[in-house]
Amino acid sequence: MTTSYDVIIVGGGVIGSSIAFHLAKKKRKVLLVEKDRIGCEASSAAAGMLGAQAEITEAGPLYDMAQKSRNLFPDIAEELKECSGIDIHLVNKGLLKVASSEEEENELKRLISFYQKQGQRAEWLSVEEMLEKEPNLSRDLTGAVYLPDDGHVLAPELTSAFARAASILGVSLREYTTTTGVIIQNDRIIGIETNVGNFYSNMVVVTSGVWSGTLLQQTGLHLPLYPVKGECFSLLYPAAPITATVISEGCYIVPKQRGRLIVGATMGEGQYDKKVTLKGIRDLLTKTETILPNIVEGEWEKAWTGLRPQTPDGLPYMGKHPEIEGLFIAAGHFRNGILLSPITGQWMTELIEGERHEETLQPFRVDRFSKTMITR
Amino acid sequence: MTTSYDVIIVGGGVIGSSIAFHLAKKKRKVLLVEKDRIGCEASSAAAGMLGAQAEITEAGPLYDMAQKSRNLFPDIAEELKECSGIDIHLVNKGLLKVASSEEEENELKRLISFYQKQGQRAEWLSVEEMLEKEPNLSRDLTGAVYLPDDGHVLAPELTSAFARAASILGVSLREYTTTTGVIIQNDRIIGIETNVGNFYSNMVVVTSGVWSGTLLQQTGLHLPLYPVKGECFSLLYPAAPITATVISEGCYIVPKQRGRLIVGATMGEGQYDKKVTLKGIRDLLTKTETILPNIVEGEWEKAWTGLRPQTPDGLPYMGKHPEIEGLFIAAGHFRNGILLSPITGQWMTELIEGERHEETLQPFRVDRFSKTMITR
Amino acid sequence: MTTSYDVIIVGGGVIGSSIAFHLAKKKRKVLLVEKDRIGCEASSAAAGMLGAQAEITEAGPLYDMAQKSRNLFPDIAEELKECSGIDIHLVNKGLLKVASSEEEENELKRLISFYQKQGQRAEWLSVEEMLEKEPNLSRDLTGAVYLPDDGHVLAPELTSAFARAASILGVSLREYTTTTGVIIQNDRIIGIETNVGNFYSNMVVVTSGVWSGTLLQQTGLHLPLYPVKGECFSLLYPAAPITATVISEGCYIVPKQRGRLIVGATMGEGQYDKKVTLKGIRDLLTKTETILPNIVEGEWEKAWTGLRPQTPDGLPYMGKHPEIEGLFIAAGHFRNGILLSPITGQWMTELIEGERHEETLQPFRVDRFSKTMITR
Amino acid sequence: MTTSYDVIIVGGGVIGSSIAFHLAKKKRKVLLVEKDRIGCEASSAAAGMLGAQAEITEAGPLYDMAQKSRNLFPDIAEELKECSGIDIHLVNKGLLKVASSEEEENELKRLISFYQKQGQRAEWLSVEEMLEKEPNLSRDLTGAVYLPDDGHVLAPELTSAFARAASILGVSLREYTTTTGVIIQNDRIIGIETNVGNFYSNMVVVTSGVWSGTLLQQTGLHLPLYPVKGECFSLLYPAAPITATVISEGCYIVPKQRGRLIVGATMGEGQYDKKVTLKGIRDLLTKTETILPNIVEGEWEKAWTGLRPQTPDGLPYMGKHPEIEGLFIAAGHFRNGILLSPITGQWMTELIEGERHEETLQPFRVDRFSKTMITR
């Protein structure tokens, strides 16, 4: 007789690892399967920005979710450090969103009122104030919004810490295991098929990022997801030319430990390849040089890409499969997987445990683009 | 209306690339799709031995196939160099199969009669003759078979040369494209589904190595394939301590250009992971040090693994799907994919072109383990 | 007129960087020159053991120095984190020195009395007690000394943190600058010659590890130093098989973050090359497998070497040049450069500042092997 | 008694390795010492252009030398392949020097008359002719000079082949050996001092590139040499967008095997560091994109630097030391070390063997900037 698990999670990125960690804290017997290595895709490619305000600039369910998740980071950082020994390097030096034209300035000022209405901190800095804060920024900018509460973490460390903490709490990790299908009996999930055999459980969570849709096709669910390739590079300085994260239309610059800057990210819609192109480097270079002229003094470290999983309406999928009992989905977090991972782990665990009503996740329901399911 | 191809090949390893090249020479409009990069799996991990005699030690269809394929190498090396500009570094310095006990010696001497009966060259070397040829081998060995006709090539270069030559002759290469299903209409193949959309063709060849079985499950074909993980490492010397390839029970040592030795390979049955273990290194080290004591003077370069696709009877699959018209399969070449790639490319092309009767590939038929198909 | 410095330090390893940091705290204007990159030699190759007891097993000036330096680590870790933002990952889980024979056991038990006489903690563990603490150690061992106060840090991070903190406090760092000579006038140092020109200062500290002797030949000082090449490798585990550092005759195993073990180190006396040999890997493997049998389950990460600067009597050189005023030397810390770096930085700074009498460093005097100097 | 050599060569770059190879063919007992690894500096960083015409655009001793050296390549490629087994990938597809303004066009046309007067082939291509040859070049260029006889090789392979062939012919190679001084007795060289002891010979050749001057200071010779840092990067294409080498004011693009382009090189005068800067990448990118717009489609492979040894008048040093008998120098080949290595190896060997009068190397004499020597 083969082992059976309380929950099987398919996909060892930051989302799957966070859910595994949160379920483990509830004493659940969990199996986490990953086709390659833990965190080897988008989760490790990320710059680790916690841009709860910077990235989500409209009221709505994603905005609320992002604020809540950002607020969980101080505690989660401490908890993960204690349990896994890994420091996720949470930095809270704020974020500057810069303007290079009057139009952008007006747009940013409009945003400030929005933030303030939401009860969030946000402050307009004139060019002088901005340069006082970050003296290496370009004098040709027209000012910036300062968001003191948007920080950043080390993305590969975060994923690794969730997975290692989960493992220490008893979760079984299986790397290099490709899930090829789900096993369904009488409209109930009973397990998964993989390249190394079947695993059984009455609850399965699909957290396979952009690859989630393909796995779920078999269940009749239309779950549209497409990759947005992001090219990034990193630079080294004796002392980093900025202290806060700086973002602008189309690029961000995140200062990390030891004088390292991460610069990202291009937006290659529908591209599944992981090639860094010279074009990508040029586009990032051109944009960032306008903002931070002496960025070019930096020493080249390396370049890489990540495939961020996007959905048609920009909202992640989080919820139950409409027809198969015991089948859950959490995918499509696009550029905000790092930021949203704590709250996703928490909410999905509550949903699985029956402690949260699925109505509370209504905007994220997984069948919102699946006509068959809706008309059923 | 979307483009249609004469033939679609699923899997850009050495087998798929060779078929693409051979079809291109017939002016076929071919699409080669590969889930990651060309040659990124077993094809690049190989040491490139052309052990037609060394590896296949019994009469039978595989033995004949291997001899024929080995004989194609001088011409194919020249043709690929001319067409792609890539030198596959064909080396014809022979191979020594060494014995460390009377039992192994008797077994090897029996092999010599077998080779000679097959009309192949093979010669017994006493310890003194062996040491004259390769003075660094251990004096504790009891002798060796010398196979002057077994050579080696650079495996990554061979795959790359097939693919590049195919591309130059007009084949479309699509890397980073995962094939998720085959499209069948009235028992006829009409195309494939991938993560970037569908592609159409009335002929599809599956050359996905150990991953081929999973793709074909959908067609009802039981095509058993399992991985045998092989760990290898390479060493550097001012001058390589051997000039011929040396193999023994459980390991091989292949001398490459610039004083490099490749040492392989462990046999991890059923292991899908690509981790090199300290145990693997230790096992290879222990075996090779017995044969070539001063191998330990070498400078460590690197270690890697490959997943070799094995079948229950050790023969590759080559042929037509028993029920779906237009669907072809070439997979399961185990440790001999490099050696067998030229003849596989040639034979599969002939089969696809209708120039070869499938009866000639009878021992390799793809439904030999598929009861359903057989009882049909 | 060219800039002049209060102090020039020649050599950007952990010793030079620590001195730079300590001088910077005294508001000195310091130039640190390094021929390649900061910490690129022995300082980064180290496993970071703080083996104040484990490594120094006799009473004497080195023993006292080591205990004092180890005791500085908690404060220095905090200070460096605050100033440079870099976490040196100080771990205080103790160290086990294991015995595999009655002879080794007796020797270790003798050591315990020695440690206790010195007022240091040390405890004998029977095999059962040892296995309770570290269940994966071999049952064939005969027991172990437990040293609860010997910890470890990340060696590259420590060097980097000293240098970065120094830089933040105003020290000028010049990498890729080779010092080719010292400039002397009337038996007084006035500067250094480098490949990019001269730099001037009335105080110069040579901290060039094994390369220090060559630079000082010009001054008539015979400062014997020779390299001891140490080969190391690292392994990855889902969970590390040990929690404390384990050392034995001829090898050590240090557990780092994220399931990583560092295994070291061979002792290649007089070897200046940085080649990892298969022999080195084999020797470490054989030794460690005896102690920790399942070490072989680990995944291979990488191998490297470092050149540790040794002196004829095993004591580092720390002090003033006997004839040239203003010329100081701190080199030859062998396997204990990481451990000894805080106290060396402190003592050398005090010596330079005139706050410490050179008599206190008598055992480390730099002319102890220089007959000419002594007889002068 | 220690071994003595016929000749000791100090510096294992392409120049030292070529001299070692040529001396070995004369049956000389040679020791080649190298501070790190053979070819680890400028020799491996080079793009391998054989720009005998493209790089040297004035009549004079360097021009003649370059033509002669280029003509040696077909034979040397064959000889090295046979002796060392290494293919240096000599490619003879010519070189295009493009013009982007009328001024540049006039200058290039003037060059054509010069080449033709020298008896060299050179041809003006109108924009249309240029685009017919290389359809991906920019239509905004005004034309190009076509130099059919300027080819390229793989620079690391060339150095490696010289050294390995030398080793096979009996030369002793000592890597990781730093030469700290020359040993002189009665105005005669008798050996060298290194970090691993002394080596003796009555003939020593210094071939240490930009580091040669420092070593020779001790002999009173002023041999001005300074580094010119060159940053380069490489790109990968399914098919390279050019077939000939393309050069322009300030950059070159060299097409290598397997769809790789090498782009170089910046000119950082006096810079000894090996850091690739974002500025360097930007400058090359901007220049090359003007010439070859779709270069940006390429996949980023990697970036690197080399330190090219320059002299005040742009001519290398080749000859005898003016005062120390038995001491020879060959250094300062700037951007043309690869191109000039065969003839340098040949001429220096003839000089050492007494088969060539030093008057024939008059323009390259080593004391031309050393007033003391001249006035002696």
Give the model confidence (pLDDT) of C222-261 as tens digits: 999 999 999 999 999 988 999 999 999 889 999 998 899 9
Confidence of residue C376 (pLDDT cuts 50, 70, 90): very low
Query: Which pLDDT tens digit goes with each residue over C123-178?
Result: 999 999 999 999 999 999 999 999 999 999 999 999 999 999 999 999 999 999 99
Residue of C nearest to D181 (CA): C214
Select from B36, B82, B86, B164 the residue whose CB has the most chain D CBs within 10 Å, as the one to mutate to test that interface.
B164
Q: Do A272 and B196 touch (CB under 8 A)?
A: yes
Contacts of A181 (CB under 8 A, 6+ apart): A192, A193, A215, A218
Mean local confidence (pLDDT), B58-68: 93
- Those of residues 213-232 in C touching chain D at CB distance below 8 A are 214, 217
Low-confidence ranges of chain D (pLDDT < 70): 1-3, 371-376
Residue C305: pLDDT above 70? yes
Q: Do A273 and B175 touch (CB under 8 A)?
A: yes
Question: Could you give the count of Cα atoms lying within 13 Å of D376 in the half-sphere of its Cβ?
Answer: 11
The candidate with the shortest Cα–Cα distance to B223, out of B319, B297, B307, B107, is B319
A136–D contact, CB cutoff 8 A: no
Are D231 and D305 within one domain?
yes
A295–D contact, CB cutoff 8 A: yes
For tokens 């392949």, name the residue. Answer: D81
Select from B89, B243, B257, B299 the residue whose CB has the most chain D CBs within 10 Å, as the one to mutate to test that interface.
B257
D279–A contact, CB cutoff 8 A: yes
The candidate with the shortest Cα–Cα distance to B322, out of B253, B252, B254, B369, is B369
Select from D300, D301, D302 the residue whose CB has the most chain A CBs within 10 Å, as the one to mutate to test that interface.
D300
Are A72 and A24 within one domain?
yes
Q: What is the DSSP string of C169-213?
A: TTPEEE-S--EEEEEEETTEEEEEEETTEEEEES-EEE--GGGHH
Are A102 and A233 within one domain?
yes
| Residue B95 burial class via C-beta count within 10 angstroms: exposed 0-12, middle 13-18, buried 19 and up | buried
Amino acid, res. D180: T
Q: Do D296 and A276 touch (CB under 8 A)?
A: no
Residue A374: pLDDT above 50? no
D296–A contact, CB cutoff 8 A: yes
**Percent of chain C surpassing pLDDT 90:** 85
Chains in contact with chain A (at least 3 beta-carbon pairs closer than 8 A)? B, C, D
Mean local confidence (pLDDT), A310-334: 96
Distances (CA, A) of B325 to B26, B93, B147, B189, B191: 21, 45, 43, 6, 12
Are D27 and D171 within one domain?
yes
Chain C hits for B285, Cβ within 8 Å: 278, 281-282, 285
Helix, strand or coil, per DSSP, at residue B187: coil
Chain C hits for D211, Cβ within 8 Å: 195
Chain D hits for A275, Cβ within 8 Å: 299-300
Q: Do D239 and B86 touch (CB under 8 A)?
A: no
Are B64 and B160 within one domain?
yes
The candidate with the shortest Cα–Cα distance to B177, out of B148, B201, B208, is B208
Which is more confidently placed, C372 or C175?
C175
Residue A82 lies in a domain: no
Are A100 and A160 within one domain?
no
Chain A hits for D296, Cβ within 8 Å: 277-279, 282
Min distance C213 CA to chain D CA atoms (Å): 10
Select from A44, A258, A301 the residue whose CB has the most chain C CBs within 10 Å, as the one to mutate to test that interface.
A258
The candidate with the shortest Cα–Cα distance to D179, out of D143, D215, D150, D225, is D215
Residue C373: pLDDT above 60? no
Residue A116 lies in a domain: yes
Residue B82 lies in a domain: no
Chain C hits for D214, Cβ within 8 Å: 178, 180, 195
Query: Which pLDDT tens digit goes with each residue over C197-217?
Result: 899 999 999 999 999 998 998
Cβ atoms of D338 and D43 within 8 Å: the answer is: yes
Domain hosting residue B206, numbered range: 4-77+155-224+313-375
Residue of B nearest to D157 (CA): B258
Report the alpha-carbon distance of residue D122 to residue A17 in Å, rounded. Answer: 64
Q: Do C277 and B298 touch (CB under 8 A)?
A: yes
Q: Are strands D226-236 and D268-269 parallel, antiparallel or unpaired?
A: antiparallel
Chains in contact with chain C (at least 3 beta-carbon pairs closer than 8 A)? A, B, D
Q: Which range (A5-9, A136-140, A370-374) has the least confidence?
A: A370-374
Tell me the two tokens of residue D259.
């769809």
Are D208 and D327 within one domain?
yes
Min distance C258 CA to chain A CA atoms (Å): 7
Report the alpha-carbon distance of residue C213 to residue D357 in Å, rounded. Answer: 41
Confidence of residue C1 (pLDDT cuts 50, 70, 90): very low
Contacts of A314 (CB under 8 A, 6+ apart): A62, A334
Cβ atoms of B66 and B118 within 8 Å: the answer is: no
Q: Do B86 and D238 touch (CB under 8 A)?
A: no
Distances (CA, A) of D76 to D64, D83, D344: 18, 10, 13
Domain boundary among A310, A325, A350: A310
Tell whether ipTM is more than 0.95: no
Min distance B8 CA to chain D CA atoms (Å): 19
Q: Please tell me whether the peptide bond between C265 and the residue prior to it is cis, using omega within 30 degrees of 0.
A: yes
CATH of the domain at D350: 3.50.50.60
Report the alpha-carbon distance of residue A367 to residue A344 in Å, rounded. Answer: 18
Amino acid, res. B249: E
Rg (CA), chain C: 21
CATH of the domain at A239: 3.30.9.10
> How far is C-alpha D317 from the geometric centre of its chain's CA atoms?
13
Q: Do C279 and B296 touch (CB under 8 A)?
A: yes
B239–D contact, CB cutoff 8 A: yes
| Nearest Cβ partner for D257 among B85, B239, B259 | B85
C174–D contact, CB cutoff 8 A: no
Number of domains in chain C: 3
Residue A85 lies in a domain: no
Residue C83 lies in a domain: no
Distances (CA, A) of C48 to B32, C26, C253: 50, 27, 11
Confidence of residue B367 (pLDDT cuts 50, 70, 90): very high
Domain boundary among B310, B331, B354: B310
Are B186 and B285 within one domain?
no
D110–A contact, CB cutoff 8 A: no
Report the alpha-carbon distance of residue A171 to residue D119 in Å, rounded. Answer: 78
Are C36 and C168 within one domain?
yes
Report the alpha-carbon distance of residue B37 to residue B34 in Å, rounded. Answer: 6
Which is more confidently placed, A3 or D34?
D34
Are C136 and C277 within one domain?
no
Chain A hits for B268, Cβ within 8 Å: none
Q: Do B167 and D238 touch (CB under 8 A)?
A: yes
Are D163 and D233 within one domain?
no
Q: Are strands D268-269 and D299-310 parallel, antiparallel or unpaired?
A: unpaired
Confidence of residue A41 (pLDDT cuts 50, 70, 90): confident
Residue B85 lies in a domain: no
Residue A37 lies in a domain: yes
Amino acid, res. A356: R
Are C70 and C179 within one domain?
yes
> How far is C-alpha C147 from the geometric centre of its chain's CA atoms?
19
Min distance C182 CA to chain D CA atoms (Å): 13
Domain boundary among B310, B333, B364: B310
Q: Do D214 and C177 touch (CB under 8 A)?
A: no
Residue D376: the pLDDT is 31
Residue of D nearest to C36 (CA): D273
A86–C contact, CB cutoff 8 A: yes
Report the alpha-carbon distance of residue B171 to residue B17 in Å, rounded. Answer: 10
D197–C contact, CB cutoff 8 A: no
Q: Do B258 and D167 touch (CB under 8 A)?
A: no
Report the alpha-carbon distance of residue C201 to residue C193 in Å, rounded. Answer: 11
Chain C hits for D177, Cβ within 8 Å: 272
| Nearest Cβ partner for B177 among A195, A272, A275 | A272
Positive or negative, the CA dihedral C269, C272, C273, C276 is: positive
Distances (CA, A) of A102 to A99, A291, D280: 8, 15, 33
Tell me the two tokens of residue B111.
């092999």
Q: Do A178 and B270 touch (CB under 8 A)?
A: no
Mean local confidence (pLDDT), B100-113: 94
Task: Calculate the average pLDDT of chain A.
Answer: 93
Helix, strand or coil, per DSSP, at residue D293: helix
Report the alpha-carbon distance of residue A273 to residue A279 in Å, rounded. Answer: 15
C289–B contact, CB cutoff 8 A: yes
Chain C hits for B276, Cβ within 8 Å: 299-300
Residue C371: the pLDDT is 64
Residue A88 lies in a domain: no
Question: For residue C47, which phi and psi values (nearest 5 degrees)?
Answer: -85, -10
Q: Please tell me whether the peptide bond between B265 and the residue prior to it is cis, using omega within 30 degrees of 0.
A: yes
Residue C206 CB neighbours (<10 A): 29
Chain B hits for A176, Cβ within 8 Å: 272-275
